[in-house]
Amino acid sequence: MNRLATAPLLSGLLIALAGPPSSGLSADVTAELSKDKSRVTVKIDGQLFAEYLTRSGTKPIVWPIIGPTGKPMTRGWPMTQAGPHEQKDHVHHRSLWFTHGDVNGVDFWSEQRKPAVIKHREFVEVAGGPEARIVTRNDWLDPNGKKVCEDERTLAFGADGDARWIDFDIVLSATAGRVTLGDTKEGTFGIRMAATMKPDAKLGGRVVNSEGNAGADVWGKRASWVDYFGPVDGETVGIALMNHPKSFRYPTHWHARTYGLCSANPFGASCFEGPGADGSATIEAGESLRLYYRVYLHKGDDEQGRVSAAFEAYCKRAKK
């Protein structure tokens, strides 16, 4: 495992930029930190794309996320009123997030009455450009406020033609002693789709993966990517979650449900493969674990959105 970087910025920030198959179009992507430093607003050519919120419930999240048709593509509740077809379930499913259900026995996934919290410590960088970039550091605190571990996350927001993407790189570090990520399905890098896109809404939404699985058969399988697509305000759009080959335990298992949850989880093997498998992982004191994901927003289904080609382009992005 890699040791925690001590420089002000991770060397991973110097990576070569690689987007999806190019349409020949480019966009101006900006990022602006709010005066109270509680959020960063990301815009594409002056129009809202996404906001990074330092805390919603028990953790930082990205919400809203506006797709290539100009419409929100993740669930609004519980951050706002529930919309059509939205169910008030799983309050911890907040648009786009990174947590885990067992970190040294502490549940950071669900929102308990006395919850564990991922507390934003600082912004390391906020910058616009061909991609907007946000780098933050966060402390993982148990329900009594004791530090369990920390992370440094780098988010890169980009657009090209009819595609948009959010790259989400995590360096999870054992800076407060040894850390064990337990074997549970409740994790880890998750997104909750717009309610009309989910297959259970029976409005034409589907979920498929890179291995040819579809519907409920996607759950628990290893795959390079999972794509949800369906209608949003009468237009078919999709969100593919991709796992970079350099990410820990690529290809990851997917905790992906037909009610709209899609979560990459490299730690839940016994849940996905059955008794005898063990997905837990230990980070020794002073060491780090690295995870790399892309959220790819596109028009149409997985073929129209060229998801396979977009994944191949993502693979060209250099990672440690």
Mean pLDDT of the chain: 92
User: If you average pLDDT over residues 133-141, what whole number do you get?
Assistant: 98
Q: Which residues contact 277 (CB under 8 A, 6 or more apart)?
A: 183, 269, 270
**The pLDDT value given to residue 42:** 98
Whether the per-residue pLDDT at 17 is higher than 80: the answer is no
Please, which residues bridge with residue 134 across strands? Answer: 126, 155
**b/e code 30-66 from CB counts within 10 Å (16+ = b):** bbeeeeeeebbebbbeeeebbbbbbebbbbbbbbbbb
pLDDT tens digits for range 22-66: 544 468 999 999 999 999 999 999 999 999 999 999 999 999 999
Q: How confident is the model at residue 277 (pLDDT cuts 50, 70, 90)?
A: very high
Whether the per-residue pLDDT at 76 is higher than 70: the answer is yes
Provide, rounded to the nearest whole percent, the portion of the chain with pLDDT above 70: 92
Residue the block writes with tokens 């499913």: 93
Q: How confident is the model at residue 189 (pLDDT cuts 50, 70, 90)?
A: very high
Q: Is 103 within 8 Å of 179 (Cβ atoms)?
A: yes
Sheet containing strand 39-44, strands side by side: 29-33, 39-44, 47-56, 59-65
pLDDT tens digits for range 97-125: 999 999 999 999 999 889 999 999 999 99
Whether the per-residue pLDDT at 8 is higher than 60: the answer is no
pLDDT tens digits for range 204-239: 999 999 999 999 999 999 999 999 999 999 999 999
pLDDT tens digits for range 138-172: 999 999 999 999 999 999 999 998 999 999 999 99
